[in-house]
A = this chain, B = another copy of it.
Amino acid sequence: MPTIVMKFGGTSVANIEKINAAADKVAAEVVRGNKVVVVVSAMSGVTNKLVGYCREMSSMYDIREYDTVVSSGEQITSGLMAMALQERDITARSWLGWQVPIHTDNVHGQASITSIETDALQERLNLGEVAVVPGFQGLTERNRISTLGRGGSDTTAVALAAALKADRCDIYTDVDGVYTTDPRIVPEAQKINRISYEEMIELASLGAKVLQTRSVEVAMKNNVNLQVLCSFGEEIGSDLPGTLLTANEDDMETKIVSGVAYQADEAKVTLLNVPDIPGIASKIFKPLSNAAVNVDMIVQNISSNGDATDMTFTVSKGELPRALKALEQVEGVDDLEIRVAEDLAKVSVVGVGMITNHGIASTMFETLAEKNINIEVVSTSEIKISVLIKRDYMELAVRALHSAFGLDQE
């Protein structure tokens, strides 16, 4: 009997009516003879409201208490989903993170799942009971509730699928799949039928807000069959044409560039007079890491005068104050000069085809030059080229690149 994990995001469980619609999809899979684990997000709006309470209470709130407060959103949905399934004569119960338990490390607010005890859960699945698990939450070694960070419900679903060796992990969301870029910016964006884990990671982390990056990493590591489906389609299960995530196989679509991603609200921090000595990068980035600042692009220029260099990195605008505070902790650099630029955006082209195709970068730069868009920073990986530009030009850049790389729908 196949085991499947079905995950429903916030808009898919936004109210009682939608939870009922999601329960119908679960019921259909049960009738098909599957053992089903359902992972639910908080009803849309609830998490923001709870986060709002925390922020209103304290600008420097205890992240452990934040986890206690915010995790209740998914807890509520899990109980309601279990009720909805019972209404359909399906045996079901909620399993909170601490009840499964889903063990995590102690990094509250951004915890990583370390292990999942599946014995008790598996026993009940074998009896035909559906398990409803609130996403986004776990249990630390210290017996506190942890959360996995925004979007962490996807990770819960994939990690459960991996631990249970599930045959399939279906992520239901309010889009019907992964697109070549954001259709709100480029109406000609197309749905991607198959995409590699790696490309999805690059697209997800850059703003194609369909799947949380870590969930794709976990899927890739454990070879989980991951599918993105639309909650609001008529059809259910395998009939629904979503986006399938696969290993990077030969039968991938042959486009060189798979998609154009973007990230608004970036800030750039440039450090001048950085001594050009071994170990200096570690000295600078350790305080940032300790402060849990997510540093994105890092660029180091060639040293111009022989004993000092410049270093540039980007962080999201919201993390900038924390980043600047952390930089005060940098030791062994006396006359560090810090320059900050806000209102920037990152635009990236992503594709496994880049590995074997040259000229992608120059096409990208030419396209931006034609639109008079100045590039502030460039950063590349094997399957991605990212540029930092002024925020005002972001949409224009995305549209131009989407068209230049032949992604527009005909």
Contacts and interface: CB of A to CB of B under 8 A. Distances in A.
Contacts of A191: none
Nearest to A99: B143
A214 interface: no
Nearest to A87: B58
Main secondary structure, interface of A, reads helix
A38 to B, nearest CB: 13
Contacts of A87: 57-58
Interface residues of A, number: 37
A54 B68 contact: no
Contact of A84 (B57, B79, B144): B57
Interface in A37-91: 50, 53-54, 56-58, 61-62, 64-69, 72-73, 75-76, 78-80, 82-84, 86-87
A86 B61 CA distance: 8
Given A16-B53, A68-B96, A143-B99, A62 B83 contact: yes
A19 interface: yes
A98 interface: yes
A83 B98 contact: no
22 contacts: A16-B53, A16-B56, A20-B57, A53-B80, A54-B79, A54-B80, A54-B83, A57-B80, A62-B82, A64-B93, A65-B80, A65-B82, A65-B86, A66-B83, A67-B79, A68-B75, A68-B78, A68-B79, A75-B75, A96-B145, A98-B98, A99-B143
Interface of A: 16, 19-20, 50, 53-54, 56-58, 61-62, 64-69, 72-73, 75-76, 78-80, 82-84, 86-87, 93-94, 96, 98-99, 143-145
